[in-house]
Every structure is written in C-alpha cells, then in structure tokens.
Chain A
C-alpha cells in the first residue's frame, strides 16, 4: 500500500492547526455583532406566522417558486448536449386548473443551428473570452474559446428560461410572492433585457420577488467593517459567509440599512432560517424593500428547522424540476439510436470498470 495517504494526512493536520490558530485571534461574537449593527444594519428575530396571519398576508394570492435544472449528456466539447428545464410552481391553480409553468430546451454544438449561435456569441463576446496564451495550435485555441462561449451561452440560456417561466407564472397566477432559487446578480448579469422586463412586470403586478440564496457568496461586509479595529482579525479571506458563520441566531436576520445598501442594484438581507449556523441571504427589488419584514417571517415559517435553510417550497420545486440521471438515461436511450450515442455521446469514462 502506498504511503502517500499518510503524507496527505500530515499536511491536512498542518492546515487544521493553521486554521485553528487563525480563529483564536477572533474577537468576541458580541463585539462583531456590535460592529455589524453600527455599520451594516440591525438584527431582527423572525417569527413563525400562524395560519390566519399567513392568509392575511397573502390575501388569497398564491406563492410561486421558480427553479431551473440543466443536465449535460455526452463527453467533451463539441460532443455534448445540454438539456434545460425550468419550472415555476404555484400553490394555487390558475383559472385553467394548471398549477405550474414549465419550459424545456436543448442546446448542442452537434446541431448546426446551435453551432452557428455559438460562433456568433463567440464573436460578440470575443473581448470577454480569454484563452491561455502561448498556445501555438490555432485550431485548439479556437476550440477552447468556442467551448467557453458555449458554456456561457448555456448559463445564459438557463437564466433566460427561469426568467421566462417566472414571468409567465406572474401573468398567469398573479401571485403575492415569487421565490427565485438563487440571487438576483446572476439573473440580472446573464438575463440582460429580460431581467429588466421581469422587474418591470413584478412591480406592475404587485408581485414581490425574492431571490433566496442558500449560501452567501458576496464579499461586501469586510469593507464596511474595515474601520472597526480587530473585528476582522482571525478571518482568513473575509468573505461574507465566513464573517456571518455562527453570528446569527436561529431565525435571526440582519436587516441591512436601506440608506446604505450592501448591493447597489438590489436590497439584500442576511438570514439564518434553520438551525444550521451557515447564513443565507435574500435579494429584494429595491422598490419592494418595505415588504422585507413580512416576507422574512413567512420564509422562516415555511423553512423546516432541521434543514439546509431553504424554504420548503423551493425544495419542492427543486425536486420537481430536477431531471434525474435515470430519467435522462432513459430519455436519451429511448430516443437516440445506439450508433449515434456510441459515436457522439458516450464519454470514455462511462466505460470504466471500477
């Protein structure tokens, strides 16, 4: 047996010691909280709403959850296919009895139309796409750029489909609240004009839209805390998630100041909806920030205390939108001929024996 694994164990212990030493330098949590209160916003405790309270809040309107799923079939670019599905699911049926809006799409460089689209996209975004320099082989360089463009396009496609599903759901169900899986930055960044349209529709229809973020990925708090000496000591990279870990109590949320928002385009608050110490966040449209107290109470109500901190409705939508590997296998095998699968779509790693 190789001894490499023991060497790795040693190295990991070293890392662990390092992390531990770092953490020891941290100030008391109360001091951190005090700093956050001065520079970021106030701590609020969410309450669980009773049935009648929830009914009063929604006034008979629906709750909609929106999520998307993307699955890749095949091997390396360009022998690959992306399957997209987006779903907006409502708690109340529309007039025609439907309770959800679903969109599906397929994207693959194996299709001539799609390939043209990829090449056009590459031309448009040439400036954003950088390929490692120093490669002589021009064909390879082009291939890599194309591949990058393809993945960007796939991301864009997914966002567009989520936004479309959400918009159709707002029109059809006229819900009180729409929960999007993930923050608004991604939607706005990749959705472009469609995002503007979505925002406008939500504001006109009086539908509150919220982006529910499971794991905070932002990097905003450290600049706010910079003038408080010590409080950032002991934090390694000073990402928001690191600072907020264990700082909020269960059901507590950090109501950031509306006058000095964390993000420029949206209104973001930090939350801890379940008993996990990891903080999450919620994005609101700036124009809808005044609904934040009610909405957070409601989200806390529908989040199981022993869960990863996501409102159950988004879990329900997530479960429904996801295409399982089994389903994909089945649908591919029963609709694509074996010769085609084998010659274009079968990655070599599927053939591994172990």
Chain B
C-alpha cells in the first residue's frame, strides 16, 4: 500500500495491487516528517486497466483471449488495482508525502482513537465499520460484547472493534438524535440504546406510539453468554390508565394547549373563556361545573336577572339564582355573551375526561419506577401521547429541577429525584419545526437548552429531521444517522453534523442497521454497525404471514371435525352443523360449512360425487 497521486494536508489516495480497501478502515501512513499520521478510508475503488469500461475506443475483450493468456500463465483478472481515498484524522500543516507506504495499524496503535470507554463503562451500541483487521489482536475484554445480526446468517460474530458510547460525557455534550427512514434500522438502534441504558440502570421515560417497546421477549438464537433478562428493568404504563393528568395542577395556559393538541384548533373566543374561568387549583369538577353554570346563566340571562330581584323565591331556588347571577356579573364581559363558545369548550373537556386523561393517577407510577432506576415505557396513540408528554415531561423535569436547585441553594431537600433520560420516537410530532403548535414543545425546548444542568437528557428519534424544531436539532450533541433518502432530510443532516460530502452521498444506500455516529463526544464521525438487540418487539411477525397461518389453522380445525362425519350428504348440510360446530368449538353457519367443504374439494382433499340420492362429499 502506497500513497499515490496528489495529496493535500488532509486527503490522499492510497493504492494497492493486492489488497482491497474497506470503507471506514483506519490506516497508518508512514510519513516520518508528519509522525505517521492516521487516516480513514472514505471512498474505495478497484479497477483493471485491461478490462476497461466498454466504449468506442476500447471494446470488451473476448473471453477466448483471456483464456489464451491464462493458459500461458497470465490471469488478467489479477491485474486489479485497488484505490482508497483517505482522510486524515487530524489535519497536517503540509501535504502528506507522496509515495509514503501505508499499513494496517495494530490494535494498540489505534486503541485511543477507537475506544473511549470500556464496554462496562459505556453504552456498547455496535461495531465500528472497517475495523475487522485491526480487531485481530484486540484484548479479550473487547471481544464478543457486540454480536451482529444479518438476515441470511442470523446472529454472527462481532468481527470488529466494539463501539462504546461514552454516555457519561453527556453532561458536557447532552442529547442524542436518531435519524433514519423506515427500514433503516432506526427502531432497532433505539432498542439497543434503551437496552444499554437499562443495563446501566439509568432512569428513563419512553413515549411509545407504536406499542413496540417492550423488553420481555428475548431475541431468538442468542448465544448463552450474550443473553440478558430485562424483565425487572422496565415497566409499561398505558396513558390514561396507569398515568393521568391531575387537573388541579394545570394552569389556564395548559388547558388551552391540551385542548389545542387534542382537538386540532380552538377559537380565540374559546381561549379567552378558558382562561377567564380558570381558578388556581380548580379540579375538573369545579372547573367544568362553573363553565356549565355560566353557560346556563347566559342562556337564561333575562329570567335570572329578574328572579334575582324577586324576594319571594323559595330558598333553594334563590341560592341557585344567586350563584348564576354572580357568575353573570363576574364573567359575562370576559367571555362574551355567547353560551355556544362555552359549550364547545365543555364538549372538548368532557371528551378528554371520558378518555381517562384526567385521573388522579398522575405520574406517581413513573416516579416509583424512577426510584427503582427503571425504564418507563408510556404507551398510547400518537394523539394521546402528545397530550400526556407535555404534562409528564414538565412534571418530572420540575421535580428534578427543584431537587437540584434546593441542593444548590442549600435549602432542605424534601424529596430525592434522580437524573433521567426522555426518549421519544416520531419526535417531530412532539416538537415540530416552525409555529406548528404542540403542547410539549415548550418544555422540550427548555430541556434541550438547559437540561444538562439538571441531568435531564433527550433522545429524539425521527424519520424526518427536517420537520424537527431547529433549536432542538441544534442542541443534539450526538447524532446517529441511519439510511435517509429524502434530500431535505439529508440537507438538514449535513448542516447539523460533521458528516462529509462523501458520507452524505452514502446515506441513501446505507444497509439496514448501519449508521454514522456524529458526536461531539467522539469528536469525529464513526460508521457503526448496530449490534443485535437482546430483546425483540412483540409484533415481529409479518401480518400477511400471520394471516396465512391463522387461516390455515382454522381450516385444519374444520377438517379434523369433518373427517369422522364423511361421507357428507350435500343436500342436508344442516344436519351436520351442530355436530361439526361442537368439534370446532364455535357455531358454523350453513354458508360457511358449504364454502369450506367446497374449498376442500378445490384443494383435492374431498371429492364431490353425484349419487341417486343427490350430491355427496367423499374423502378423496
């Protein structure tokens, strides 16, 4: 291997006749004047000058010619020349020496560069690409810590240097972004990251709109020493059941954003009314009753005003009239005279209430899990999670902030509250770019900017980085970029990471499960193949396969039930319904039985024969 052609202080081409270059591998250039700099292969090429591209000038060579030369000892196909474009890890003051030999380093020579933390000190996310050869003399402690998986060969060897993410440096460089289109391995990467957080027992809350983040199902065919049970390391909570919003903790603005998130849009008049009617520590009951009463008062304003002057009203009515009149006096000017506005708000509130949003469960279960250093998975529909995220995140963040502030200011500490990580998939829904409203956006932005002071970190996964709030994107110090196809997203990634033009050009073609990790912590972009996850999501089965299997099972059951009754008289199917239905375990209709029997005939399992007594189904 030798440096050839023109070089710069940063880049060079390396050529070899015998060895192909691997993308992302690290080589040492033996340039004494520059103290043997290290460089990474960022582009690879191989060509054979005797087998050029066919063109007008140069035709494809006949195979007989190649065979003729091979018979006298020359294999033209061996005349390949391999080229690799190198980028130095650190820039030099002057260009690299042309002609300098290059070589594959020993592990010890690049250990500092590749391993920032030992596997037990950090998050072992995968294997550094192009490190296969270097890994040969790697110490035992780094081996078999990140097995790989591919569809053809299943779970396989590590075959490279593990990539260990130094999560403790997140207090300096907080927050992680995970970008990638569908099928890119993004969800898989997220799962591995969560597993690693659980192994380190970092409290975390995950919003899971896809119902796929559970960790009790083990990944199949893992070797014994790679298996790990996460059953005690996480809890799943259903939004609206296990956790809810305590209405009394909300302020008027919160109610506005909740309703906006849950029902799309609300009018200015509604917003004014919501704010005007709200009192501190209102419960759902007090608030909604007040609103209902006011609506009633507005509808009957004239009578109430008259009745309020009537001294002979019976005492019960009088009390009621006074209440309504007081509401009118107090709020009418503020909410406008139209009761429809109030009823619109009420309808929306009641809907949320009925869906279980306002329960007294609060975030108690999350806090309990945090105390046990567990991972909390909050599941629910996207729309529901959006409503909850705002409340849950804010509440947890405040608790943590109050705790830290108390310590800082020397105030007595009431309640210990641990640092934690907030994780969401489809993050662009929680914190969309521009002025698209989302209830949780405000608090998430605050955490993005100030969270590291309090030990609160974000992990934002999204397919659409271009749709994610700019402030937040800019605060993600570490970005894990999987295959991305949309040019707008690639543009954002290019802008927000130190990914080079060559790497950006590879983004649409990255294989599933391979990602570029661009991080202020590692200081450079590393191509990483994500390790096999130790657990698997519950809906692993292809829905269409499931359909096939489900139906086949059904048919089989009926077949078993039909067998003893053969031959079956086709004109008298009703007589068999009860008997077969009992065996199958459910009631069969005439049509269903007839259709199933005909299917069996089509499949060749039954024969339909005509007899003097009518048609009959016989066993084939």
A contact residues vs B (CB 8 Å cutoff): 48-52, 54-55, 58, 62-63, 90-92, 176, 298, 301-307, 312-313, 315-316, 319
Contact = CB atoms under 8 A, between A and B. Distances in A.
Contact of A301 (B61, B65, B76): B65
Contact of A305 (B49, B50, B62, B73): B62
Given A298-B68, A301-B68, A91 B74 contact: yes
Contacts of A305: 62
Interface pairs A-B: 7 shortest CB-CB = A54-B71, A91-B74, A92-B73, A301-B68, A306-B59, A91-B73, A302-B68
A52 to B, nearest CB: 8
Contacts of A319: 49-50
B10 to A, nearest CB: 21
B73 A63 contact: yes
Nearest to B75: A91
Contact of B73 (A49, A50, A62, A301): A62
B563 interface: no
B477 to A, nearest CB: 45
Given A54-B68, A92-B73, A304 B61 contact: yes
Q: Which of A49, A52, A312 has the most CB of B within 10 A?
A: A312
Interface in B27-76: 49-50, 59-62, 64-65, 67-74, 76
Contacts of A301: 64-65, 68
B68 A49 contact: yes
Contact of B71 (A58, A90, A304, A306): A58
Contacts of A303: 65
A179 to B, nearest CB: 11
B13 to A, nearest CB: 14
28 contacts: A49-B68, A52-B71, A54-B71, A55-B72, A58-B71, A58-B72, A62-B72, A63-B73, A63-B74, A90-B73, A91-B69, A92-B73, A176-B72, A298-B68, A301-B64, A302-B69, A304-B59, A304-B65, A306-B60, A306-B62, A312-B50, A312-B65, A312-B69, A312-B76, A313-B74, A315-B50, A319-B49, A319-B50
Contacts of A54: 68, 71-72
Contacts of A50: 67
Q: Which of B50, B60, B69 has the most CB of A within 10 A?
A: B69
Contacts, number: 62
Interface of B: 49-50, 59-62, 64-65, 67-74, 76
A197 to B, nearest CB: 26
Given A55-B71, A91-B72, A91-B74, A302 B65 contact: yes
A92 B78 CA distance: 13
A58 B74 CA distance: 13
Nearest to B79: A316
Contacts of B69: 63, 91, 302, 312-313
A92 B62 contact: no
A353 B70 CA distance: 48
A303 B61 CA distance: 9
A185 B74 CA distance: 29
Contacts of B73: 62-63, 90-92
Contacts of A62: 72-73
A63 B73 CA distance: 8
Given A51-B71, A58-B71, A91-B72, A304 B50 contact: no
Contact of B70 (A51, A306, A307): A51
Contacts of A306: 59-60, 62
Given A301-B65, A302-B65, A312-B65, A307 B71 contact: no
Nearest to A90: B73
A48 B64 contact: yes
A107 to B, nearest CB: 26
B59 A307 contact: yes
B50 A316 contact: yes
A303 B49 CA distance: 17
Nearest to B71: A54
Q: Which of B61, B64, B71 has the most CB of A within 10 A?
A: B71
Nearest to B58: A307
Contacts of B76: 312, 316
Contacts of A176: 72
A51 to B, nearest CB: 5
B100 to A, nearest CB: 15
A312 B64 contact: no
Contacts of A302: 65, 68-69
A298 B49 CA distance: 23
Q: Which of B65, B67, B76 has the most CB of A within 10 A?
A: B65
A178 to B, nearest CB: 12
A62 B71 CA distance: 10
A49 B67 CA distance: 9
Nearest to B66: A312
Contacts of B74: 63, 91-92, 313, 316
A92 B75 CA distance: 10
Given A92-B73, A306-B59, A312-B50, 20 more contacts: A48-B64, A48-B68, A50-B67, A51-B71, A54-B68, A55-B71, A55-B72, A58-B72, A62-B72, A63-B69, A63-B72, A63-B74, A91-B73, A92-B72, A301-B65, A303-B65, A304-B62, A307-B59, A312-B69, A313-B74
Q: Which of B50, B68, B72 has the most CB of A within 10 A?
A: B72
Contacts of B50: 312, 315-316, 319
Nearest to A92: B73
A92 B72 CA distance: 8
B61 to A, nearest CB: 5
A315 B59 CA distance: 13
A207 to B, nearest CB: 13
A243 B280 CA distance: 112
Q: Which of B49, B59, B70, B73 has the most CB of A within 10 A?
A: B73
A312 B61 contact: yes
Contacts of A298: 68
B99 to A, nearest CB: 11
A48 B65 CA distance: 9
Q: Which of A58, A298, A306 has the most CB of B within 10 A?
A: A306
A50 to B, nearest CB: 8
A315 B79 CA distance: 14
A51 B64 CA distance: 9
Contacts of A91: 69, 72-74
Contacts of B61: 304, 312
Contacts of B72: 54-55, 58, 62-63, 91-92, 176
Contacts of B68: 48-49, 51, 54, 298, 301-302
A288 B65 CA distance: 24
A171 B298 CA distance: 117
A58 B72 CA distance: 7
A228 to B, nearest CB: 37
A307 B64 CA distance: 14
Contacts of B62: 304-306
Nearest to A305: B62
B9 to A, nearest CB: 18
A306 to B, nearest CB: 4
A302 to B, nearest CB: 4
B81 to A, nearest CB: 12
A312 to B, nearest CB: 5
Contacts of A312: 50, 61, 65, 69, 76
B62 to A, nearest CB: 5
Contacts of A55: 71-72
B281 to A, nearest CB: 83
Nearest to A63: B72
A313 B61 CA distance: 12
A297 B59 CA distance: 22
A294 to B, nearest CB: 13
A177 B64 CA distance: 19
